[in-house]
Amino acid sequence: LAKTTQPISMDSYEGQEVNITCSHNNIATNDYITWYQQFPSQGPRFIIQGYKTKVTNEVASLFIPADRKSSTLSLPRVSLSDTAVYYCLVFNTNAGKSTFGDGTTLTVKP
Amino acid sequence: SQTIHQWPATLVQPVGSPLSLECTVEGTSNPNLYWYRQAAGRGLQLLFYSVGIGQISSEVPQNLSASRPQDRQFILSSKKLLLSDSGFYLCAWRAENEQFFGPGTRLTVL
């Protein structure tokens, strides 16, 4: 399974755009890139998933370059409630499983 | 819609005591099921996954075992708990390329 590397922590202010980058150098052909959000004492919640180029939904955008060795989660106009740990992981469709890294703790300040 | 249940929500057990954590899924059939453990401030570690009744794959050698007696039931067990077994235990099921997580069980071994 591909290993992911993210920054340990990030700070931001309300209303700003936040970009969290993840590297996954040994990503495989059958791997999908997925981002989750986790609040304390809760299970992770799915945010967005992509294979290549750009994916956008109602809460975030995911940018994946052509080589797919990294990805960037973009959160537009964050609020205090976006303070959480964000996990980037690579989901292997053949194995049906994925590996979580230690995540990025995002702190949004007023 | 699909729902995943875990119980108990919290548990405090003495060292050497047995453990049984239960996970059930509603609204789907023949799901892939997963057990993860999360230590404080860390990412999720995949412990076991199952692709069907009686089929269990172990990811990490440890003091724990898993069973799947029914299609939508996944049980995590231990005969004798260790201090290092403390953590946040999460059950998940897979739909295509996405995993959905349960609410988790906070286990403290004293």
Chain segment B75-107, per-residue pLDDT in tens: 999 999 999 999 999 999 987 777 889 999 999
Name the interface residues of A facing B (CB cutoff 8 Å). 32, 34, 41-46, 49, 87, 91, 93, 96-103
Flag if B97 and A102 touch (Cβ within 8 Å): no
Q: How many helices (H) and strands (E) does chain B have?
A: 0, 11
Q: Which residue has the tokens 């069973």?
A: B67
Say if residue A64's pLDDT is above 80: yes
Chain segment B35-59, per-residue pLDDT in tens: 999 988 888 889 999 999 999 998 8
User: What confidence tier does A77 reach under pLDDT thresholds 50, 70, 90?
Assistant: very high
Q: Select from B32, B43, B103 the Cβ nearest to the Cβ of A43.
A: B103
- Joined together, the tokens standing for residue A84 give 């959480």
Look at residue B94 in the predicted model and tell me its pLDDT. 85
Q: Select from A32, A41, A43 the Cβ nearest to the Cβ of B97.
A: A32
List the single residue in A with minimal CA-CA distance to B49.
Answer: A97
Q: What is the 3-state secondary structure (H, E, C) of B65-110?
A: EEEEEECCEEEEEECCCCHHHCEEEEEEEEECCEEEECCCEEEEEC
Mean pLDDT taken over chain A: 92
How many Cβ pairs within 8 Å bridge chains A and B?
Answer: 51
Q: Any idea how long chain B is?
A: 110
Flag if B99 and A100 touch (Cβ within 8 Å): no
Least confident of A57-71, A86-100, B49-63: A86-100
User: What confidence tier does A69 reach under pLDDT thresholds 50, 70, 90?
Assistant: very high
Mean pLDDT across B8-33: 94
Q: What percent of chain B has pLDDT over 90?
A: 72
Flag if B49 and A87 touch (Cβ within 8 Å): no
Mean pLDDT across B10-27: 96
Say if residue B73's pLDDT is above 80: yes
Rounded CA gap, B17 and A107, in Å? 39
Look at residue A14 in the predicted model and tell me its pLDDT. 97
CA angle A61, A54, A37 (to 5 degrees): 35
CA A105 to each of CA A5, A20, A21, A64: distance values in angstroms, whole numbers, following the listed order: 13, 10, 13, 21
**Regarding predicted confidence, which is higher, A96 or A5?**
A5
**Regarding predicted confidence, which is higher, A92 or A27?**
A27
Residues of A in contact with B46 (CB under 8 A): 97-100
CA A82 to each of CA A67, A105, A110, B23, B100: distance values in angstroms, whole numbers, following the listed order: 29, 10, 12, 28, 20
Mean pLDDT across B2-31: 93
Say if residue A2's pLDDT is above 80: no
Look at residue A1 in the predicted model and tell me its pLDDT. 65
Least confident of A57-66, A72-81, A92-101: A92-101
Rounded CA gap, A72 and A54, in Å? 10
CB of B76 within 8 A of CB of B48?
A: yes
Chain segment A6-34, per-residue pLDDT in tens: 999 999 999 999 999 999 998 988 889 99
Residues of A in contact with B59 (CB under 8 A): 97
Q: What are phi and psi of B91, to 5 degrees?
A: -100, 145
